[in-house]
């Protein structure tokens, strides 16, 4: 057991798979099994292909599986090739777009933003999880498991804190009742973003202070895009736009580089 849970991705895979099952069975207009299979298969195959070309002999599919699952949960499409393309784009971006020996963009987030900007056949469905409390609780529960395993997922909490503070500030400025920011915070999609996307340890800064800075910046940009630009995928766009900041922050505030497991350095990209 100990070895099994020593890698945070195992938690992530279990959590994301559970969410995907809920999505299949209880959400209208939710994920389509075939599309999910295609997104995941494309991500895995691209990972294998890119690993082989890059000359590495150690193929690790766990990160790619996390990416494929994330895409399945977050991206909707009207044609089967689109989720497959998303899987390819996501993983290829890890191998191609790199600075200082690590990838720049959150792979799933990058694919989502790129496809949303290029194709009218894809969309996101941020309202799909509703605000059901039990689901929120479940998400938090699953996410906490992930947090415990990947110590630096504190960025998820920083982000939720910053996002919540901004929503509260906005409500207070507008004179809106507290019910409005609370409703906005209860979004299941927001929790998925916070716990499974922004907290991807490979694309978050190494030092805690930098992670706090990064989280606040993403929340602020996301807030601007959502409320002033009326952009629906505001958080994804904010995240991807600010991913390059991570490399800069790592240079300015160096700290120990992340590895999925303490013993296997750089097990996967």
Pick between residue 184 and residue 207 the one whose CB is nearest to another protein: 184
For the window 181-210, what string marks contact with another protein as x by the rule CB under 8 A? -xxx--x-----------------------
Q: Nearest approach, Cβ of 121 to another protein (angstroms)?
A: 5
Residue 232 in contact with another protein, rule: CB under 8 A: yes
Residue list 114-133, contact with another protein (CB under 8 A): 119-132
Residue 169 in contact with another protein, rule: CB under 8 A: no
Residue 39 in contact with another protein, rule: CB under 8 A: no
Task: Pick left, alpha or beta for residue 230 (phi over 0 → left; psi -120 to 50 → alpha; otherwise beta).
Answer: left
Report which of 105, 93, 114, 80 is spatially closest to residue 46, judged by C-alpha positions: 93
- Within a 10 A sphere around the Cβ of 61, how many other Cβ atoms? 17
Q: Nearest approach, Cβ of 209 to another protein (angstroms)?
A: 33
Separation between Cα atoms, residue 80 and residue 65, nearest integer Å: 18
Report which of 91, 36, 144 is spatially closest to residue 268, judged by C-alpha positions: 91
- Please answer whether residues 215 and 242 qualify as being in contact, where contact means their C-beta atoms are separated by less than 8 angstroms: no
SS3 28: coil
Pick between residue 67 and residue 128 the one whose CB is nearest to another protein: 128
Residues of this chain that interact with another protein (CB under 8 A) are 28-29, 76-78, 119-132, 173-177, 179-180, 182-184, 187, 229-230, 232
């Amino acid at each position: 057991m100990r070895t099994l849970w020593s890698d945070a991705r195992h938690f992530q895979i279990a959590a994301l798979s559970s969410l995907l099952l809920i999505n299949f069975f209880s959400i209208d207009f939710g994920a389509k099994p075939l599309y999910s299979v295609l997104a995941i298969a494309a991500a895995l195959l691209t990972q294998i292909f890119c690993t082989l070309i890059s000359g590495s002999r150690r193929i690790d599919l766990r990160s790619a599986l996390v990416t494929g699952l994330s895409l399945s949960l977050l991206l909707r499409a009207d044609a089967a090739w689109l989720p497959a393309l998303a899987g390819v784009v996501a993983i290829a971006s890890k191998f191609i777009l790199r600075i200082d020996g690590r990838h720049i963009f959150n792979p799933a987030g990058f694919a989502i933003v790129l496809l949303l900007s290029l194709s009218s056949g894809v969309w996101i469905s941020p309202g799909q999880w509703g605000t059901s409390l039990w689901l929120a609780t479940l998400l938090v529960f699953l996410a906490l498991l992930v947090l415990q395993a990947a110590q630096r997922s504190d960025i998820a909490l920083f982000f939720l804190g910053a996002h919540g503070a901004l929503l509260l500030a906005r409500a207070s400025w507008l004179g809106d009742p507290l019910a409005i920011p609370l409703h906005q915070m209860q979004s299941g999609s927001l929790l998925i973003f916070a716990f499974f996307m922004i907290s991807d340890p490979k694309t978050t800064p190494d030092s805690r202070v930098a992670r706090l800075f990064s989280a606040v910046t993403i929340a602020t940009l996301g807030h601007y895009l959502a409320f002033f630009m009326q952009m629906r995928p505001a958080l994804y766009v904010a995240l991807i736009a600010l991913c390059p900041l991570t490399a800069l922050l790592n240079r300015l505030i160096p700290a120990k580089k992340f590895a999925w497991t303490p013993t296997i350095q750089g097990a996967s990209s």
